[in-house]
Structure 1
Amino acid sequence: MPISKPLPRTLEDWLERLEKQLLPVPVENHLTVCRALSDNRRSLREIADLMQASPALALSVLREANRQAGSFSTPAESLESALSRLGLQRTLELVKRQPARPLEEIPLALRQIQLISQHAAQQASGLFSARLARLWQEIHWGSLLFLAPIWSLLAAHPELFEQWEQRVLARAEPAAKVEQELLGVPLLALCLALAERWRLPDWVIQGYRLLVADRRQLVKALHIARDNQHPLHQQQMLDADIPLRRWLTQPANSILLANGLALSAHHAWNSPHSLRWQHLTGLYLQLPLSDVQQQIHQHAAQGARQQATTELWHPAQALLWPWDARRLQHNAPAPAAKTAPADNGWRQHCAQLLAQPSAFHNLDQLTSSITQALQACGMSRVLLLLADRSHSRLRAQQQTGLNKSANTLIIDPQHSQVLRRLLQAPAQLRLTPANIAQFSALLPGSLKALFPSEHLLIRSLASNGRVAMVIVVDQSGTVLNDSSVQVFGKTVQCIQRALDSFAKRER
């Protein structure tokens, strides 16, 4: 049952969650690859080519080969090498363990980021493989798998992609700020840690290490690359900085360039971010900007013809639009008092919850403050339910905006699959018109009578390692927009801190 768990907030917690995350594979691709692996007439090259249509399978095979490298001191750099190390029988067993799903059941965000990876592989093949023919496999698979850590992230939490698109691309918010608010950790640091744990190809790890720990070389190269109209002056500047010139010519940079081009083109071909990667590619290839642009547009169009893009966005589509057109627009949110918590004491309530040591002398004081904080964050109807030690009863502790019958409400969670799941571990369920039919029958009738709504948030919180509280809130049945949900999430973080400090005070 897809009840979303609270997002991790530390690097170790993210690694633990994403390490266990399985990537769904389209049923058709899964069957095709299984048949190929069972056919002894197929070569490794043919099998690897078939796996390209499903990047998730390629990643699972490469990860398994490098996890069980044994006497191999270096990780496999290509899928053919990984297939050779595992053998076809073990590969077939591994592939059969991967979850096969109809295409429409695979999160759209996951399919979109994998399409960006395929676009990057197309750019890498077209721009660099001919020049570095002996390294074409490393270039191809490195560029395809560079964003693989983000595949796992979006398989677990597909809603993050739309939030990132809107905030970073459409609204131009600083990426570091958005990542800290959404994930609690820098995205590139998380990608590097996963790449190292999975033993992805060395070029992938080198690229992330450069972006995380040593951007000086990249910044210096970008500064020189801007002067694309004066190649002689560019060469003179590179000749004056030998370490930079040596770094720039490394073949490993090809996969970083390809992914930079593909990711930035996802928003616009002529955005400042995209132009920086185009200039840097021109410096790497010693080509004028116009030649680079012509090539990357051709490669994008070629890739769009080869890749199924139904429901997905491919940057080649934008080549038919006016040059300054944008797919993502900054839509200013409609003014709403409920999404402006700072105006009605929300920050003060949260500060009281976060006080160390706990400012509360008893449970009534604590839950009263929690209810006020939830009201201040825009929730007009609030119900706090406390669980007994055996999780056999949920008893109403505080309520606001509801019928007086809520004051004496007692619920047996054994009769509700949703509540049983929420009591197992801290989690959140967001009810919407899209899923209300699925979950309504699994909720107690007494709870539905108090909240006759298709827009509802239910959240469980733990104290001393066990779920102790369930929060049910809504905005009088109106739509819960993303801003309201985000503010609710921040409020819950404060409530969790308050529960932890209150428990310590009690001891």
Structure 2
Amino acid sequence: MPTPSALPRTLDAWIQELEKVRLPITPTQQEQLRRLLRDNRRSLREIAEQLQHCPAAALALLREANRGGSSLNQPAESLEIALTRLGLQRSGEQVELLPVLDSAATPHALRQLQLISQHAAQQAGGLFSARLARLWQEIHWSSLLFLAPLWPLAFAQPTLFDAWERRVLGAGEPARKVELELFGVPLLQLALQLAERWRLPEWIVQGYRLLLNDHRLLVQALHIARDNEHPLHQQQHLDAAPALRRWLTQPGNTILLANCLALSAHASWGSDHSLRWQRLTGLYLQLPLGEVQAQIHQQAASSARQLEPRTLWHPAQALLWPWTASHLREPEAPVVQPAAPASPDWRQHCAELLRSPSPFLNLAQLTLCAGAALSACGLPRHLLLLSDRQHSRLRGQQASGLPEQAQGLELDPAPSPLLRRLLGQPAQLRLSPANMAQYSALLPGTLKALFPSEHLLIRSLACKGRVAMLLFADNDGRLLDDRQVQGFGKTAQCIERALDQFAQRGR
């Protein structure tokens, strides 16, 4: 792996670097692949279908089958064709060349990106294969391997790739600006050149060329797709533009649609970016948006059941969360004066938090006062986690009633979809026996060990509209009454006001 000082900064340099990368498989996958390729009872189609569960091996075999081909030897459009060209013995030799790493030793960025690719293949199969039954293999394998040119990058430079994900998918920064800063080249251009070099299926190459070089048809189609509630108007627009209509119905577009649906859902189901691709899929399928969304959600759930993501984030998990339900809601507007759900001590601490200008010399003083307010309103066990600006690390800032290690606790929120959601925007969640089973699996084990409770309050605290801290509190595991819940919410509002005042100090 190159050192940061020696990172490539040109397309040629990146291609040379990534060409040397061999993607790893796990010991379990290696043993399963050995048995699979030695099983003479299976057809090549059955073997190819099993290989989809190991994307690294699928890519390696397809690349080997296409290596050194001539213009008369068309690239293999599916893994079944690749297996036919290689034969099972040579395929087995290629599998033996792949490095073997435990899942825990494989960069999270690579495993997450491969899961997105598998999710995209499920979307493509569920949405389009029935309509294009003769092309189902091409649709499936092209969808699975569309993001494959980026897999070596995620393996070789996981830190850079994580930074790209946070800034582009999470914070919405312009992709080209971030990519030039991090990599020196646009990722789409790098992916296109690798796809051409590896002779990946033509639909993959066409997809990258469309995104890079021909926005005109795509922009026109996205504009028409916005009018999803009036299908007759949409059809009239398409009839008036025959070239656009012919392009839209090309089967190769299913690959781009499936991957953009999976990638945008990875960031947020409800984002404008995700909605654009849902509408365009509706235009392609000639279906209303609601029906398209129902099918997309169904395929996401099927994908999650098959993949069992465990430590990885799958968008289907977000479909289980009632974010608009009463127990998970947007925080109320900040208060100007605290109410009195608790003792005079609580009111005194809150008044200190609300003072302007901020009386606190540092953040430790502020959070110490916040902890005292929480204790005074009947929540003796609590933890304040401070987030960095990129929301890539959480650190224990203030703790009470918890083991000593809670004070210096450090957490990576990326594997936890619940923490990621709370860091995305301010929200409050009340855990109880009624919903504990639903949410417990989404919390890091470290936090569950600190709060072995079925009655827990969680809230993200914002400073100037951006989440800066996460707050966890309970009543030593006992049932929470309305007074304590009300006190928690109002104390959180006071802490947010204190954070805003503290941020303005010295101005």
What TM bracket, shorter-length normalisation? Answer: 0.5 to 0.7
Q: Does 1:321 align with 2:321?
A: yes
Q: Distance in 1 between matches of 2:70 and 2:324?
A: 53
Larger mean Cα displacement after TM superposition, 62-71 or 199-208: 62-71
Write the mapping of 1:208-219 to structure 2, written as runs, cut at 5 A.
208-219=208-219
In structure 1, what is the Cα distance between the partners aligned to 2:279 and 2:260? Answer: 11
Q: Which residue of 2 aligns with 1:353?
A: none
**Residues of 1 paired with 2:324 and 2:289: CA distance?**
18
Q: Which residue of 1 aligns with 2:281?
A: 281
Over 3 Å counting, the alpha-carbon distance change for 1:277 and 1:323 in structure 2 is: farther
In the alignment, residue 189 of structure 1 is paired with which amino acid? Q
Q: 1:188 touches 1:212 (CA, 8 Å); kept in 2?
A: yes
The alignment status of 1:121 with 2:121, answered yes or no, reads yes
The letter for the 1-side match of 2:94 is L
> Which residue of structure 1 lines up, in the alignment, with residue 179 of structure 2?
179
The structural deviation recorded for 1:164 is: 1.5
Partner of 2:110: 110
Q: Distance in 1 between matches of 2:95 and 2:308?
A: 22
Which amino acid counterpart does residue 136 of structure 1 have in structure 2? W
- Helix, strand or coil for the counterpart of 2:6? coil
Q: Which residue of structure 1 lines up, in the alignment, with residue 162 of structure 2?
A: 162
Partner in structure 2 of residue 256 of structure 1: 256
2:5 and 2:73 map into 1 onto residues whose CA distance is 38
> Structure 2: which 5+ runs fail to align?
329-361, 363-409, 412-507
User: Retained in 1: the 8 A contact 2:51–2:58?
Assistant: yes
Which deviations, in whole Å up to 9, do the C-alpha atoms of 1:19-53 show, x marking residues without a partner?
Answer: 11110011111111112212222211121122111
Aligned counterparts of 2:135 and 2:117: Cα–Cα separation in 1: 19
Q: In structure 2, what is the equivalent of residue 59 of structure 1?
A: 59
- Compared with structure 1, are the counterparts of its residues 167 and 32 closer, same or farther at alpha carbon in structure 2 (3 Å cutoff)? same
- 1:310 corresponds in structure 2 to 310
Confirm or deny: 8 A CA contact 1:180 1:186 kept in the other structure: yes
8 Å contact kept, 1:23–1:56 = yes
**1:270–1:324 contact (8 Å) kept in structure 2:** no
Which residue number in structure 2 is paired with residue 268 of structure 1? 268
AA aligned opposite 1:126: G
Return the letter of the residue paired with 1:309: P
Greater mean deviation of Cα atoms: 172-181 or 65-74: 65-74
Aligned counterparts, 1:388-407, within 5 A: none
Corresponding residue of 2:39: 39
Partner of 2:87 in structure 1?
87
Count of aligned positions: 329
- Partner residue, 1:228: 228
Q: What's the CA shift for 1:146?
A: 0.1
Q: Does the CA contact (< 8 Å) of 1:204 and 1:255 recur in 2?
A: yes
Letter in 2 for 1:202: E
User: Taking structure 1 as reference, are residues 138 and 237 closer, same or farther at Cα in structure 2, changes over 3 Å only?
Assistant: same
Q: 2:313 is aligned with what amino acid?
A: W
Aligned partner of 2:338 in structure 1 is none
**CA drift at 1:6:** 2.6
Bigger shift: 155-164 or 16-25?
A: 155-164
| Aligned residue identity for 1:38 | R
**Structure 1 residues 168 and 284, CA gap change in structure 2 (3 angstroms):** same
Percent of pairs identical after alignment?
66
Secondary structure of 2:267's partner? coil
Query: How far apart are the structure 2 equivalents of 1:271 and 1:252?
Result: 25
Using the alignment, how far apart are the partners of 2:88 and 2:70 within structure 1? 18
Q: Which residue of 2 aligns with 1:369?
A: none
1:417-432 alignment to 2 at 5 Å? none
Whether the 8 Å CA contact 2:153–2:161 is kept in 1: the answer is: no
Aligned to 2:100: 100
State whether residues 26 and 54 of structure 1, in contact with CA within 8 Å, keep that contact through their aligned partners in structure 2.
Answer: no
Paired residue type of 2:156 = A
Is contact 1:117-1:146 (8 Å) kept?
Answer: yes
Structure 2 distance, partners of 1:171, 1:46, is 42
Corresponding residue number in structure 2 for 1:294: 294
CA 1:13–1:296 in 2, change beyond 3 Å: closer, same or farther?
same
Separation (CA, whole Å) in 1 of partners of 2:140 and 2:122: 8
For the residue of structure 2 that corresponds to 1:199, the secondary structure is coil
Normalising by structure 2, we get a TM-score of 0.63
- Quick one: distance in 1 between partners of 2:281 and 2:70? 37
Q: Is the 8 A contact 1:11 1:185 kept in 2?
A: yes
Q: Give the direction of change, closer, same or farther, for the CA distance of 1:284–1:61 in structure 2 (3 Å limit).
A: same
Structural mapping, 1:347-366, within 5 Å: none
1:263 is matched by which residue type in structure 2?
L
Q: Is there any run of 5+ residues in structure 1 with no aligned partner, and where?
A: 327-335, 337-432, 435-507
2: CA distance, partners of 1:2 / 1:310: 30
Question: Partner residue of 2:370?
Answer: none
For residues 126 and 66 of structure 2, the distance between their equivalents in structure 1, rounded to whole angstroms, comes to: 28
Aligned amino acid, residue 33 of structure 1: L
Distance 1:101 1:139 in 2: 30
Q: Bigger shift: 68-77 or 39-48?
A: 68-77
AA at the equivalent of 1:137: Q
Distance 1:45 1:5 in 2: 46
Amino acid at match of 2:135: L
**2: CA distance between counterparts of 1:30 and 1:303?**
22
User: What per-residue deviation string (whole Å, max 9, x for no partner) do you get for residues 255-306 of structure 1?
Assistant: 1000000000001111000000000000000000000000000100111011
Over the aligned positions, Cα root-mean-square deviation in angstroms equals 2.0
Alpha-carbon contact 1:62-1:200 (below 8 Å) kept: yes
Quickly say closer, same or farther: Cα 1:311–1:131, change in 2 above 3 A: same
Q: Which amino acid aligns with 1:31?
A: E
- Paired AA for residue 77 in structure 1: E
Distance 2:204 2:146 in 1: 5
Determine if contact 2:66/2:75 at 8 Å carries over to the other structure: yes
CA shift in 2, pair 1:323/1:211, >3 Å: farther
Displacement after TM superposition at 1:4 (Å): 5.4
Match for 2:169: what amino acid?
A: L
CA distance in 2, matches of 1:307, 1:324: 27
Cα pair distance change 1:209/1:323, threshold 3 Å: farther
AA in 1 matched with 2:298? Q
Conservation of the 8 A alpha-carbon contact between 1:33 and 1:47 = no
| C-alpha distance in 1 between matches for 2:43 and 2:272 | 44
| 1:237 equivalenced with 2:237 (yes/no) | yes
Aligned partner letter, 2:124:
A
Is this contact kept in 2: 1:270–1:323, CA < 8 A? no
Contact 2:27 2:101 in 1 (8 A): yes
**Cross-structure match for 1:153:** 153
Give the letter aligned to residue 224 of structure 1.
Answer: I
Partner letter of residue 244 of structure 1?
L
Change (3 A) 1:59 1:311: same
- For 1:282-332, what per-residue CA distance to the aligned partner results, in whole angstroms no more than 9, with x for missing partners? 000000000000000010011101102121000001112245799xxxxxx
Q: Give yes or no for contact 1:44–1:84 (8 Å, CA) kept in 2.
A: yes
For 2:154, give the aligned amino acid.
L
Q: Distance between the aligned counterparts of 2:222 and 2:52, measured in 1?
A: 32
Structure 2 residue 10 is the aligned partner of structure 1 residue 17: no
Distance 1:215 1:18 in 2: 28
